[in-house]
Chains A and B, each alone.
Chain A
Amino acid sequence: EVQLVQSGAEVKKPGESLKISCKGSGYSFTSYWIGWVRQMPGKGLEWMGIIYPGDSDTRYSPSFQGQVTISADKSISTAYLQWSSLKASDTAMYYCVRAVEMATVFFDIWGQGTMVTVSS
């Protein structure tokens, strides 16, 4: 079964660092882009950025450039999303997604989500 399994919920304080993970299985991890999508409470979906684990080519949404870092370790089929200094406004559900390139680039597999809560 093709799946993405994300790390568990996190509760952090403002200013702390955080790295959440997304492990792929059931397919060739290095052959598909892995992206991250934010969903703030009660809000819509926002694309944050994407990485190609095969060569670590990484692209960011302008809205998230410099705010987060996306990385991957292909030896363990895992992608990461990290913050160096969290803010309360980072409180959200974060989904990793597998991206398929056809005419459209679309997200066919979604992780279960990682809820990040930032509160003092």
Chain B
Amino acid sequence: EIVLTQSPATLSLSPGERATLSCRASQSVSSYLAWYQQKPGQAPRLLIYDASNRATGIPARFSGSGSGTDFTLTISSLEPEDFAVYYCQQRSNWPLITFGQGTRLEIK
């Protein structure tokens, strides 16, 4: 099973700052990686697929990069509504799918 490890577990930043979230795979997942955002009491929302493609309706301040084992989700300038939990997800060994454990982005 491919394990996804997200870091940091919690990230404390202020609105307007740049956020960098990491997702590391235990073995190569090529570019088969997606990112999701989950706010309290809501279902997750797709942000990024295929490592770097923004989903429909996702603001340009969200960007994804990486391939192989190391991936990054960057939020260029934090808005108040961006404080949430973020998950990465891989499908490299379909049909097995795994999620990372999440990074909580909180207001400093």
The interface of chain A, by Cβ under 8 A from chain B, is 35, 44-47, 50, 59, 61-62, 95, 100, 102-108, 110-113
Q: Which of A50, A106, A111 contacts B89 (CB 8 A)?
A: A106
The interface of chain B, by Cβ under 8 A from chain A, is 1, 30-34, 36, 38, 43-46, 49-51, 55, 87, 89-91, 94-102
Contact partners of A95 in chain B: CB under 8 A: 43-44
Shortest CB distance B2–A (Å): 12
Please, which residue of chain B has its CB at the minimum distance from the CB of A57? B95
B46 contacts A107, CB within 8 Å?
A: yes
A61 to B99, CA, bound (A): 12
Most-contacted residue by chain A among B50, B91, B98, B101 (CB, 10 A):
B91
A47 contacts B55, CB within 8 Å?
A: no
**A45-B102, A46-B99 known, 10 other contacts, Cβ within 8 Å:** A45-B44, A47-B99, A62-B96, A103-B31, A103-B32, A103-B50, A105-B32, A108-B49, A110-B45, A112-B43
Contact partners of B51 in chain A: CB under 8 A: 104
A103 contacts B55, CB within 8 Å?
A: no
Contact partners of A45 in chain B: CB under 8 A: 36, 38, 44, 87, 89, 99, 102
A44 contacts B87, CB within 8 Å?
A: yes
Interface majority SS (helix, strand, loop, mixed), chain B = loop
B99 contacts A44, CB within 8 Å?
A: yes
B30 contacts A44, CB within 8 Å?
A: no
Q: Would you give 5 A-B contacts (Cβ < 8 Å), ordered by A?
A: A47-B89, A61-B96, A62-B96, A104-B31, A105-B97
A106 contacts B46, CB within 8 Å?
A: yes
In the complex, the 3 A-B pairs of residues with the closest C-beta atoms, listed nearest first: A59-B95, A105-B91, A106-B34
Please, which residue of chain B has its CB at the minimum distance from the CB of A61? B96
Q: Which of A104, A110, A111 contacts B91 (CB 8 A)?
A: A104
A104 contacts B32, CB within 8 Å?
A: yes
A13 to B94, CA, bound (A): 35
Please, which residue of chain B has its CB at the minimum distance from the CB of A48? B97
Q: Which of A61, A102, A107, A112 contacts B50 (CB 8 A)?
A: A102
Contact status of A110 and B87, CB under 8 A, knowing A44-B99, A47-B97, A104-B32? no
